[in-house]
Amino acid sequence: SPSPCAFQALEAEARAALGRGDPQEVLSSASKLRVTREAMGTLREGQWLNDEVINFYLQLVAERSRKAGYPSVHAFSTFFYPKLVSGGHAAVRRWTKDMDIFQKDIILVPIHLGVHWALVVIDVRKKAIRYYDSLGQRGMKICQALLQYLQEESRSRRGLELASAQWSLHSMGAQEIPQQRNQSDCGVFLCQYAESICRERAITFS
């Protein structure tokens, strides 16, 4: 854990990021993504995290996975699932033109449900698709849509039929994972589910 001095420095940096300034000022950038002061403001208590912050955070998790000792991770952006739903596999085929997602251990798919965020985790090693929702909502239809995507991706990229009967789909129940106690923390819970899973740690945060 950080030393008291390091923790104070982090707190000061956070206060500065959430303070006044040009809303379009870029406060951080990585892998072609950036976070502006305006987006950082969604981290204030009672606010809803926006796409910019969630995509940035998941990209940091995916980048960390390149280090030894971590499972390999690919994080789709928040725009992936709506595109898949509206246009099918053909609409998102180019999203993986330079990679084979079946070579990854874990695939993260953030899901935006209008005014609520959830997360799907595809564990390629275990052939499992899991839906994580901090309000305990069910997401089996989303899991099924992503299994169909994997089937079409396998045919398209590898010329192989995916043995779908070997895959398990599960919508995590409210008793299985931490649940939010307000109407604003869903995005933070999404990020923390991803953080724990991609470090292969128990999901025990509150």
Q: Could you say which of 112, 133, 185, 198 is catalytic?
A: 133
List the catalytic residue out of 51, 89, 105, 116.
Answer: 116
DSSP 102-115: GG-SEEEEEEE-SS
Is 191 among the catalytic positions?
A: no
Q: Is 143 noted as a catalytic residue in this protein?
A: no
Q: Is the dihedral of CA 113, 119, 124, 127 positive or negative?
A: negative
CA distances to 8, 23, 178 from 39, rounded to whole Å, are 23, 8, 25
**Is 185 noted as a catalytic residue in this protein?**
no
Residues in the chain: 206
Contacts for 157 with CB less than 8 Å, ≥ 6 apart: 96, 100, 102
By the 8 A CB rule, do 133 and 113 touch?
Answer: no
Active-site position among 74, 112, 185, 186: 186
CB neighbour burial string for 101-136, b if at least 16 within 10 angstroms, e if fewer: beebbbbbbbbbeeebbbbbbbbbeebebbbbbbee
Closest to 172 (Cα-Cα) out of 150, 147, 143, 192 = 143
**Count of C-beta atoms within a 10 Å radius of residue 2:** 9
Q: Could you give the residue numbers annotated as active site?
A: 116, 133, 186
